[in-house]
Amino acid sequence: MKIVLDRPRCEGHGLCEEAAPQLMHLDDDGELVLDREEIDGGDVALAKAAARVCPVAALRVE
């Protein structure tokens, strides 16, 4: 599976980073950076949680 970021939609709220800090982080400019796009195992649940909390639906798991 993989995490897909709709970069233009992302507003840098950081809720996803709180839900899955081992998969993503906000850089110094407030831009979301995916540390890994390909995920498996327990990371799938974390990625789905991050996608759920995004207020602008900028993340999805495929």
pTM score of the predicted model:
0.92
Mean pLDDT (the chain) is: 96
- Amino acid letter for position 32: L
pLDDT in tens, 2-51: 999 999 999 999 999 999 999 999 999 999 999 998 999 999 999 999 99
What whole-number distance in Å separates Cα of residue 40 and Cα of residue 36?
11
Tokens 């602008």 correspond to 56
What whole-number distance in Å separates Cα of residue 5 and Cα of residue 50?
11
Domains, in order of start, for the chain: 3-61 (3.30.70.20)
Residue 41 is encoded by which pair of tokens?
A: 């195992």
What are the helix and strand counts (H, E) for the chain?
2, 4
49 - beta bridge partners?
none
